[in-house]
Structure 1
């Protein structure tokens, strides 16, 4: 399953100090191109790097220690095409100076230890035979033994044909090694570079906890020429390129080469659980969460709804920018798309690493439309659940910020299983074994909100609302039109004081005069204080029953009166 696509590398022109960029065809000065890490200044094309060059680019200087084990494929089949396989192996070793298509060892990125395995396309197209499979599997096993993250950098045409079924079995072997990392909570990051195809993509390359692709990298299973011939159709522009895959939900990040080392350093710091903490200053004097409904000012429910919907109100990303010391957004549901109405990623908040997830609306028409007015499609809920389950595997608390009028009621959403996605998100949150904190920022609309709010501790901003249905929809169903929305809002008891009385929320965060939109920084300081407070004092769980307190919290809500029959008629 090797790709036959011509490699997009720089080619010599007239003199050795110049090359022609494979991306734009313009001449490039080689010393400058090397200083730019092989990235063309004219068009941004990323030329291929050898494994040693990649290690120099990503790791702290002098930190790499090779594994010390030689992984060499042998000709177990006696395979011959135009040349015997054994001859091809010898020629590749002489040409590249490598034993096979991967270099592995330990190193550091930004002072953080990492187990690294880097593939080299120059060795028989980076194809995966027994040696590559063994090197990657052993690297995963060492990462597990040392309890340090695994970083795999892929560059491969796929499985090595010359090793037949032995090569095919490496897909299962490497996949199993990654499964063991997942089971034991050891993080893995896969960096996909140009090209990554075939059996490598369909095994370990896409099984990392976090998938990052280098800008412009071609990634797929079958090559584009094969797909075009098989389908007889013109392929979309950018097909199988990293940016295309990000849009279709298959990757967490796409990063230019110059930003890779910094991104990996931030991820490793967050995954290590000891991120840098910015001194955010003291919270406002009146920032303590309120648990007494009588301490909250009474106001008409419809006024609260209008305040919660104010487009000037801080969004999830606004709050993240103010409460998080660092935030690395992660994308995609790994199935269909990246839904921008739900954002999430690893964050540092007050010395805690958390998986921070929330609905995202917007402030202007352009952003509101792009974010679908904060109404998630199934892909949004599947992305959120994927990130929550990743956090659970790694022992990272989950914090969700809720602000949506509801799940998107569209044809495509129904066809792709909107109700199923919501149900799985609710169930998935119920099963999390890590602490979960949810905050209703603005609108908490129906199951679309609850899908991100099954938490140990549910907080609510003073001017937020939370209901089974919007007042307008309820009015339309009961009275035939939305004109009764204001009295219906009152009847639904959707305001913070009422929900506190009902036990639906655990505490209410006071807002500054005029609401969160009047003083976003003050509101953010209160929000950060409440989140850190909740994380510092996680709810007690029964031994052997993680999440039991969360179950008991929801078990109490709405318990009907049980009639025992012991009463007078």
Structure 2
């Protein structure tokens, strides 16, 4: 953006020309829009001070003390002495370094915030920036409140040589301490964020949010094209490109940032802020069916049809009905955002939880195709694993909703490690030190389902099915006749009642008359009561007990004793 002089009155607001669409914007309107073009949505750069004023609640900002560092460790001179460049940057910005740190609140949630300013030597990472980011992290650790990093940088500061490089390791160590202490770290990527900042603290956060159009990468596009000779694709390294490739959790407009960040900051454990409504008190009756005789007799093949009904509620449907403040987080942070798995934090009856589940896509064919019919790629399982690790760090219970024909069987999934991704999830869930409640809400297909079902309590919806293979697949292999699928379904004992008798599930979640597809709100209410009741039981358990009893639960399968022995009864 650049200003156009107002010839009528020198003191009147300037007119602004948008860098992207070249629209002429009245200055006051531009300010009201938080320096976002109202015509094309282009997000202009903000100063560090503007960032703090925009994000923090009015009157809550308390600046952190400045940390003094060596100012010119190399005595560096290019066309000008480095000391002169520092003096000019300080005079032009009013800042002592390229980052401004403070503590305060966002939507009444406490936070320590470090906001970078691109005007100061391109927001470059030098000793001063490294020291201030580290001090912000240590303040966050000392106060046990989340850290928010607002990044804007061209990379490491060349004039400080290898000492600048060392700031990547220094800031990383500071964030590792927050990981070990269970302190939430958020990153807000603004344009641009490159080099040493991108390859250290900017991308080590638990949740990475980006402004629309913000660019993030290790090397800039010109460097890449010059080095490789390749023409880069349209939108390469932009926030939207990164979201599609699983590298950021969300792209959020500037106007929505405070609300989004406030919801995420509320995940930091703080017992005095959590008001949990016990499930049993809400209904007066037990929400789980634990005896097979309580269930109506249902033909196995009929159950398969009901489990596959295209109108059954999806994970996102359940999230919308059950969770307050649910925010979907995306990407495996490697290369993919698999649409067949969705997840994110929210509050169930006031209790923060991490919800993760398969997403078939509802009853529209195009959406079901986009979601791969709920058949995850390795990136989907790696996304789930990332969210489970975040839940473990913050002490959040994990709730998984399972509805998949199975893992994606395509060649791309095999090339990117499908078997390994599933195995890693099994190992992770076996030792996750927080309560895990899994519900098979529709189809539970093979290892693709089990990868989200190694839990302390495993339930199934009344019309759900769970099997080692689809009835059609079993019929084709063993009967040599796909028409024998109904016979195979019966032999496999895929229905809820049979699974309860075998001890595979701990209970059955009732469904509304006609099935979950007939009444989404009621289906969600019944499922929510069941999950909440399980969490009421599991929450008081210490991690050692959780891990011991989870191991015992799965260890007994296949041994010759009462399959229901040791099953939790709610």
What's the TM-score once normalised by structure 1's chain length? 0.94
1:32 is matched with which residue: 29, 33, 54?
Answer: 29
Distance across 1 between alignment mates of 2:109 and 2:284: 38
Question: How do residues 402-551 of structure 1 correspond to structure 2 at under 5 angstroms?
Answer: 402-538=402-538, 544=544, 546-551=546-551
In 2, are the aligned partners of 1:214 and 1:254 still within 8 Å (CA)?
yes
In 1, are the aligned partners of 2:439 and 2:459 still within 8 Å (CA)?
yes
In 2, are the aligned partners of 1:284 and 1:526 still within 8 Å (CA)?
no
1:255 aligned onto 2:247: no
Deviation of 1:533 after TM superposition, in Å, equals 0.7
Match of 1:129 in 2: 126
In 2, are the aligned partners of 1:331 and 1:344 still within 8 Å (CA)?
yes
In 1, are the aligned partners of 2:279 and 2:530 still within 8 Å (CA)?
no
In 1, are the aligned partners of 2:354 and 2:399 still within 8 Å (CA)?
yes
Deviation of 1:42 after TM superposition, in Å, equals 1.0
Higher mean alpha-carbon deviation, 451-460 vs 270-279, is at 270-279
Distance across 1 between alignment mates of 2:560 and 2:81: 78
Question: How do residues 259-338 of structure 1 correspond to structure 2 at under 5 angstroms?
Answer: 259-272=256-269, 274=273, 288-338=287-337
In 2, are the aligned partners of 1:38 and 1:46 still within 8 Å (CA)?
yes
Deviation of 1:560 after TM superposition, in Å, equals 5.1
Distance across 2 between alignment mates of 1:394 and 1:543: 13
Question: How do residues 11-22 of structure 1 correspond to structure 2 at under 5 angstroms?
Answer: 11-12=3-4, 17-22=14-19
The secondary structure found in structure 1 opposite 2:381 is helix
Could you give the per-residue CA deviations for residues 72-122 of structure 1, whole angstroms, max 9, x where no partner exists?
551110100110000000111111110010111211111111111111111
Distance across 2 between alignment mates of 1:196 and 1:360: 32
Match of 2:203 in 1: 206
Distance across 1 between alignment mates of 2:264 and 2:300: 43
Question: How do residues 102-251 of structure 1 correspond to structure 2 at under 5 angstroms?
Answer: 102-251=99-248
Evaluate the alpha carbon distance shift between residue 521 and residue 279 of structure 1 in structure 2; reply closer, same or farther with a 3 A threshold. Answer: farther
**Contiguous gaps of at least 5 residues in structure 1:** 1-8, 562-569
Deviation of 1:438 after TM superposition, in Å, equals 0.3
Evaluate the alpha carbon distance shift between residue 543 and residue 332 of structure 1 in structure 2; reply closer, same or farther with a 3 A threshold. Answer: closer
Could you give the per-residue CA deviations for residues 24-76 of structure 1, whole angstroms, max 9, x where no partner exists?
11222122111111100111100000000000110001111111224455111
Distance across 2 between alignment mates of 1:119 and 1:348: 32
Evaluate the alpha carbon distance shift between residue 23 and residue 132 of structure 1 in structure 2; reply closer, same or farther with a 3 A threshold. Answer: same
The secondary structure found in structure 1 opposite 2:168 is helix
The secondary structure found in structure 2 opposite 1:153 is strand
Deviation of 1:287 after TM superposition, in Å, equals 6.4
The secondary structure found in structure 1 opposite 2:459 is strand
Distance across 2 between alignment mates of 1:216 and 1:540: 45
In 1, are the aligned partners of 2:67 and 2:131 still within 8 Å (CA)?
no
Match of 2:565 in 1: none
The secondary structure found in structure 2 opposite 1:141 is helix
Could you give the per-residue CA deviations for residues 176-216 of structure 1, whole angstroms, max 9, x where no partner exists?
10011001101110111001000000000000111111111
Distance across 1 between alignment mates of 2:334 and 2:366: 26
Evaluate the alpha carbon distance shift between residue 543 and residue 492 of structure 1 in structure 2; reply closer, same or farther with a 3 A threshold. Answer: closer
In 1, are the aligned partners of 2:279 and 2:529 still within 8 Å (CA)?
no
Distance across 2 between alignment mates of 1:550 and 1:169: 43
Deviation of 1:17 after TM superposition, in Å, equals 1.2
Distance across 2 between alignment mates of 1:281 and 1:61: 41
Deviation of 1:12 after TM superposition, in Å, equals 3.7
Evaluate the alpha carbon distance shift between residue 21 and residue 539 of structure 1 in structure 2; reply closer, same or farther with a 3 A threshold. Answer: closer
Distance across 1 between alignment mates of 2:487 and 2:225: 60
The secondary structure found in structure 1 opposite 2:422 is helix
Match of 1:347 in 2: 346
The secondary structure found in structure 2 opposite 1:165 is helix
Evaluate the alpha carbon distance shift between residue 72 and residue 103 of structure 1 in structure 2; reply closer, same or farther with a 3 A threshold. Answer: farther
Match of 1:566 in 2: none
Could you give the per-residue CA deviations for residues 106-155 of structure 1, whole angstroms, max 9, x where no partner exists?
11111111111111111100001000000001110111111000011001
Match of 1:361 in 2: 360
What's the TM-score once normalised by structure 2's chain length? 0.94
The secondary structure found in structure 1 opposite 2:311 is coil
Higher mean alpha-carbon deviation, 542-551 vs 29-38, is at 542-551
Could you give the per-residue CA deviations for residues 272-292 of structure 1, whole angstroms, max 9, x where no partner exists?
454688999986787620110
The secondary structure found in structure 1 opposite 2:553 is helix
In 1, are the aligned partners of 2:397 and 2:434 still within 8 Å (CA)?
yes
1:10 aligned onto 2:2: yes
Distance across 1 between alignment mates of 2:469 and 2:140: 49
Distance across 2 between alignment mates of 1:87 and 1:211: 35
In 2, are the aligned partners of 1:277 and 1:325 still within 8 Å (CA)?
no
RMSD: 1.9
In 1, are the aligned partners of 2:278 and 2:536 still within 8 Å (CA)?
no
The secondary structure found in structure 2 opposite 1:511 is coil
Q: How many residues align?
A: 553
The secondary structure found in structure 2 opposite 1:327 is coil
